[in-house]
Amino acid sequence: MLTVLGVSLAAVLSRGNVVKGLLAGFLGLLLGLVGTSPTTAEERFTFGSLFLGDGLSLVAVALGIFGLAEIASRSGQRVVDRDMVTLGGGWFSGIREWLTHWTQVIRGSLIGIWAGVLPGVGATAGTWLAYGQAVATAKDKRQFGKGDPRGIVGPESANNSVEAGDLIPTLLFGIPGGVPSAMLLGMLLTYGIQPGPAIVTEHLNLMYLIIWCFAIASIIGAFLCFLATPGLAKLTKVPFAVLSAGLLVIMLLGAFQDGGQIGDLWIMILLGAVGWLMKATDTPRAPFLIGFVLAIPMERYYYLTDSLYGGFGWMSRPIVLVMLAVLVGPAIWALVKWVRNRRRVGADDGHVVGDDLRHNDDEDAEDGLLKDSPWSLGMAVGITAVFALALAVSQGFSPEARLMPQLVSIGGLIFGLVQLVQEFRMRGAGGIRPGWTRDVTIAMRMFAVMAVFLLLVMLGGYLFAVALFVPAFLLFVARAKPRATIIYGLVLMAALFVLPSLLPVDLPTGLLQR
């Protein structure tokens, strides 16, 4: 029920469009089910591909949906306002904001601890869930997404407490919830220390050492970030088109480290295009990522719960009923407010529920670029078709392996059809922004450039591809000066050449290197 509750917060994160938020959440759940079933070890939605057998990489999915999509949407930016970013207020200003929103600190920390205790949830879902509760509990939501401190305090509190919560299952049950805790568990086993309840009595001093190291490292890390802030702030004065070349190289290299498969990078570019289209059609991407992260834990916990309690008897347990109330209550309240506001339409300026949560096209032209347009309708048709195809393909799975895919596909189909109805009703509403063809053309060219870079990687390896791609991109796309291009390229090549000797980093190899 905790995992179900986490995915249900997609409606909170959707900033007024509940249907699109839930549709994105179901799509993320479906994508998270790709790979081997945790209950039957049966491959699902792999279509004969070997690298899909282990599922999609979280790093590739997150960087694709958010990172590459942002590069595509902002790559046309070649000039910046030199006075746009200024640092002021000092450290005490941040401390005052932290003290002002101390309730967000507590709520975010509790959410982070919960995300850390549940294996497989991690900081990615925990921070977004904390952001969702910050939006849900705020009376004035207009500044969220534009620098509201509440949208930072809550998620950062959750981000810091996730690793602390992860220590609970790691030390007491030997179940790591992420890479850092798995490394810690491996070190404990190397020294013959067996995690479990006995560690509290036999190695209590070691537990205190771990806790103190965690606390001290957080303080030292924050201090180093304070020192680095002035230098990092200067990056905002560099045209994004110049930064995007290095960002693309770093993102693809980071995604490759997780699975070591070139196929993950192609999936990453494909999801980057999907992420850009979601942003352009005002479809929230955070619910998508939450659904992807919680897909396998939800399925695993469901079968564990079913085997322990049998049938649906667990649904009558008090804590589960409380979670159901938390899940259903906001939906009923939102419906009541929608009915009330529908009755008031015409009595005022026609303002309806959710308008204050939507982005204004004049204030943020990058979001909702293609909202209420044929592109938005086409995306709704495509997502609905994906759920229909998934439902048909899941019929060939075993009963245990097809249960979760069928539930997700049916739920996605329902909300997909609802979204289609809304799209047909909103056609001709004038939501598409003038000049959209230029932004679409720039995005399509950027994804084509990413594909060319990946082809170069497959041909001659990573260093070969970077040596050709970065100078060409800076000269012809970013319109950088030759001197800056040469320095930029040499520094990046030197860093990639030295990096494997300093860190366990693998560079993709090409056909010419084999």
HSE of 197, CA atoms in CB hemisphere, 13 A: 0
Q: Which helix (DSSP H) or strand (DSSP E) does residue 43 occupy? A: strand 43-44
Q: 13 falls in which pLDDT band (50, 70, 90)?
A: low
d(CA 15, CA 18): 8
- Least confident range from 232-236, 237-241, 335-339, 418-422: namely 335-339
**Average pLDDT score, the chain:** 81
pLDDT surpassing 60 at residue 362: no
The pLDDT score that the predictor gives to residue 414 is 93
Give the whole-number percent of the chain exceeding pLDDT 90. 23
Give me the mean pLDDT over the 181-206 stretch.
81
Q: Comparing 236 with 161, which gets the higher pLDDT?
A: 161
Cβ neighbours of 90 (radius 10 Å): 8
Q: Is the pLDDT of residue 283 over 80?
A: yes
43 bridge partner residues: 36
Cβ-based neighbours of 310, under 8 Å, separated by 6 or more: none
Q: Is the pLDDT of residue 471 over 60?
A: yes
More confident position, 50 or 13: 50
Per-residue pLDDT at 488? 92
Pairwise CA distance, residues 146 & 364, whole Å: 9
pTM above the 0.85 mark?
no
**How many other β-carbons are positioned within 10 Å of the β-carbon of residue 495?**
14
> Does the pLDDT value for residue 476 go beyond 80?
yes
Q: What is the mean pLDDT of residues 223-239?
A: 83
Per cent of the chain over pLDDT 70 is 86
Name the DSSP letter for residue 356. G
- Residue 43: phi and psi, rounded to 5, are -75, 135
- The answer to whether residues 143 and 28 touch, using CB atoms and an 8 Å cutoff, is no
DSSP 115-145: HHHSTTTHHHHHHHHHHHHHHHH-S--TTTT
Q: What is the structure's pLDDT at 410?
A: 94
Exposed, middle or buried by CB within 10 Å (0-12, 13-18, 19+), for 170? Answer: buried
pLDDT over threshold 70, residue 154: yes
Side-chain half-sphere CA neighbours of 235 within 13 A: 8
pLDDT bin (cut points 50, 70, 90) of residue 357 is very low
Residue 353 has pLDDT above 50, yes or no: no
